[in-house]
A = this chain, B = another copy of it.
Amino acid sequence: MDAMSVGSVEASCHRLRPLVDPASIAIFGASADPKRLGGVPISLLRQHKFAGAIYPINPKYQEIDGLTCYPDIAALPGPVDVIVIAVGAAEVVPVLRQAAAKGIRAAVIYAAGFAEAGDTEGIALQAELVRCADELGIVVGGPNCMGFGNLDNHAYSTFTAVFRTVPPPAAPRTVGLVTQSGSVCSAVYAAGRAMDVRFNLFINTGNEACVDFSEYLEYLADRPGTEAIVGYLEGLRDGVRFQKVAARMRDEGRPLALLKAGGSDKGIEAARLHTGADAGSAAAYRAVFERLGVIPARDILHLADIAYLSRFRARTSGRRVAILTISGALGALLSDLFTGNGVTVPTLSQSVQALLRQGVPRYGMAQNPVDFTGNIVNSHTFVGDALDAILASGEVDFVVLYASGFLIDRFAESLAQAAQKSPRMVAAIATGTVAARATLEEAGVAVFEDPARAAAALSSMACWHDNRRLYEGIPVAPAPVPSGAVLEFLKAARAADRKNFSGVEAAKLLAAFGVTMPCEVVEGASHRQGDGAELCIDIRNDPILGPVLRVSPAGDWPEALNDHALASLPLPRDFAIRSMKSLRGWPLLARTCDDAAIAAAGVVIENLGSGVLMLGSSFERATVMLWLSSRGQSKVAAVDVVLTNG
């Protein structure tokens, strides 16, 4: 067994320590059958030689697999970090009480049939569970979960069989895995291990009755050694905590990648029925993820591939790729795939092309994609020289080399040397097996055996590098603690039974908090005869994610064709302008308004966002109609602020 992880010591003051990093485990409802729920964790702990104490509990047995089996919790001989409760939903709470009486501080509950069932019985059972856990001061994982796998000290409180067949990772273990589904957790673990991803913790959160996804994320981020976290998410419960830990990961240059269910109506419905989580608006999640540098994964293998690439996170990347290939077709296909994933394939400068032309035959290509053609078979030195020249040129952010597996093997030394000389990302893409995989990876070269998977994962990392540089240090929305002035205003508004503030009145409201609209504020539609462009700014308070701002051109057509941009707050003016410019119809708007009007609009949007943040959770919705004139000024044509009830 590996030494107990540094993490389990240093993070010991966190309340999740006994749950996630336990030194001793009891199993209530233990079974001698290693295929039953109460048997799997025991067999895993034995198989991987967990060094801590293991206490099976079941009056039916005297011993299981050489371990003393105890008749009940009271009979346990020593202190226990975590108890696995492998019984039905109705029996859970009494067991929890006995565990607390014995001084046990954490429990994992497998049973389903709590709130996710959606019926009165399940909801009541979960409410009772939460009450009981709070009262007893016991930390509960689940219910409706598969439990935890600790790859550092082999503490398994899980019934997933994946650890039985998939070999565990060697140290250093650096990738946290946290999901709201046990099946997805197992699938990502297996797919990641196939590429030797070094997971440290396997966490299946289930119903999150007592501990939510964001708290696990926080624990993982705090735990020494975690360099990346990958996860599966249906819906968040604590959006503020989530945004804080995600922004920290971003600012520390540690990848956080999430596969989020709920991209379709049916997906949202299924997620709600599955763990009771509200999947929320997919578009709002996308906006928040982008700001936070959270990498959106599109499926299980994509998530596993990003986990794999996190090993190379110290290598710089960005949205410009050079594609080197021995096949013109793969050059074309990879160009299509990278472009479709938001990465550009810039034409190389004449000087780099001239250098490449020394080894690329006349029927190859030197522009980018660079097609060495099959002729390169025996010229691995030239492949190295070409890589060096392109990496040193500064014209691209990362480089990929496509060849058949056996050719990648032949070029391995050149590839490794080029990568070692450069701080940039280098990847080998093969069809067929690459025997030199480990050597290449050791030298910092990522290796893929499918072009489409490679392009998807490398693009995600490239965009992440770009995003994290762009948004680094931009704070997340503060926790909704209204200021004194705001509280006073809200009190007066409530006393007067006021909820809606429109036009000039709403502008005055915001001005009262020091938030100015640096534009003339006019009422209603009187501006329409002017020339210029009209924008609609709409901010809604997402119950989980907080205020999300939407900017769209005003008018029937932009609305019908769904032209809009979303952003989370605060939104500094430069980013507000960036949002406006990201509209598909921006070129049309830009024709009719000038830079000064656009700059003023950026300030209006920034200030409106500040005002909304001050209103905190009292805020429901705000709308501003903004007129950008062709004569150097903007007008706030209408303001509408809606407060929450009560």
Residues of A at under 8 Å CB distance from B?
112-114, 116-119, 121-122, 144, 161, 179-184, 186-187, 190-191, 232, 234, 259, 261-271, 273-275, 279, 298-302, 326-333, 335-337, 339-340, 345, 361-363, 365, 367-369, 371, 373, 375, 404, 406, 431-432, 450-452, 553, 555-558, 560-563, 584-585, 587-588
Contact = CB atoms under 8 A, between A and B. Distances in A.
B336 A451 contact: no
Nearest to A406: B161
B183 A336 contact: no
Contacts of A362: 113, 117, 119, 121-122
A300 B117 contact: no
A329 B232 contact: yes
A248 to B, nearest CB: 27
B299 A333 contact: yes
Contact of A144 (B259, B267, B363, B431): B363
5 contacts: A113-B363, A114-B363, A186-B431, A273-B367, A301-B452
Contact of A331 (B182, B274, B369): B274
Contact of A328 (B270, B363, B450): B270
Q: Specify how many copies of this chain sit in the oligomer.
A: 2
Task: Please provide the 6 A-B residue pairs with the shortest distance between their CB atoms, ordered closest to farther.
Answer: A274-B328, A181-B329, A557-B557, A299-B452, A183-B327, A264-B339
A431 B187 contact: yes
A337 B298 CA distance: 9
Contacts of A116: 328, 363
Contacts of A232: 329
A7 to B, nearest CB: 27
B300 A451 contact: yes
Nearest to A185: B329
Nearest to A333: B261
A336 B117 contact: no
Contacts of A234: 329, 332
B562 A112 contact: no
A183 B330 contact: yes
Contacts of A365: 270, 273-274
Nearest to A366: B273
B267 A335 contact: yes
